[in-house]
Structure formats: C-alpha cells, structure tokens
C-alpha cells in the first residue's frame, strides 16, 4: 500500500492509475488525514507465455515421488490413506 496526498494524485493521476491497474493500492490523504483508498476493482490476470512457463519448469527442482510419499507416510502415517480397489494397496 502506498500513501499519497490529494495534490500528488491530481498531478500524477495517470501514473497512479497505471500502478492501480497493475495491482497497487493507494491511500489518499487530505491535510494529513487518510480520506480514500484507490484499488483495482478486480485482480488483474497476468498472461504468462508458454515459453516462460517452460523455462521456469525446466529450472525447477526434480521431485522424487517415492521419497515424498515415504516422508508423508512417516509424518502423517499411512493408516487413513485411500486404497486401490482389488489389490488393497495404498495409492
């Protein structure tokens, strides 16, 4: 949250509204007292290109699912885990 005066809002309204559109929240003051809040109406969805997602996933750490399951079973126990129909094995 950013706090600006009424005068700053009048002088920089385009920049302030660009910030608000990007998700910023402003409190507006008059004579040192907060009188208003300017915030986006709805959260803005951000489009992330596929190549950017692939680049991030490529650099993500690998997950060993067997080790993750073993650690979860050790921490939570496995008695309440859902079993796989006929075999009666845990999933």
pLDDT band at residue 83 using 50, 70 and 90 as cut-offs: low
Any domain includes 58: no
More confident residue, 42 or 10: 10
Q: How far apart are CA 71 and CA 53, in angstroms?
A: 28
What is the pTM assigned to this prediction?
A: 0.47
Residue 91 lies in a domain: no
The pLDDT-based confidence of 52 (bands split at 50, 70, 90) is confident
- Residues 60 and 48: their CA atoms lie apart, in Å, by 17
pLDDT of 9 strictly over 80: yes
> Strand, coil or helix: what is 37?
strand
Confirm whether 12 is domain-assigned: yes
Confidence band (pLDDT; 50, 70, 90) for 87?
low
> CATH number of the domain that 28 lies in?
3.40.1620
Contact (CB, 8 A) for 27 and 3:
yes
Is 63 within a domain? no
Structural domain includes residue 83: no
How many domains in the chain? Answer: 1
- Which DSSP category does 27 fall into? E
The H helix count followed by the E strand count for the chain is: 4, 5
Is the pLDDT at 90 greater than 60? The verdict is: no
**Which residue segment(s) compose the domain that 15 sits in?**
2-38
- Give the pLDDT of residue 85: 59
Contact between 16 and 4 under an 8 Å Cβ cutoff? The reply is yes
Note whether residue 28 is domain-resident.
yes
């Amino acid at each position: 949250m950013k706090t600006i005066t009424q005068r700053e809002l009048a002088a920089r309204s385009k920049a302030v509204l660009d910030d608000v559109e990007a998700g910023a929240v402003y409190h507006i003051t008059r004579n040192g007292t907060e009188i208003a809040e300017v915030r986006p109406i709805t959260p803005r969805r951000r489009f992330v290109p596929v190549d950017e997602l692939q680049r991030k996933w490529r650099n993500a750490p690998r997950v060993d699912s067997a080790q993750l399951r073993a650690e979860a079973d050790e921490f939570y126990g496995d008695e309440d885990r859902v079993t796989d129909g006929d075999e009666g094995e845990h999933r």
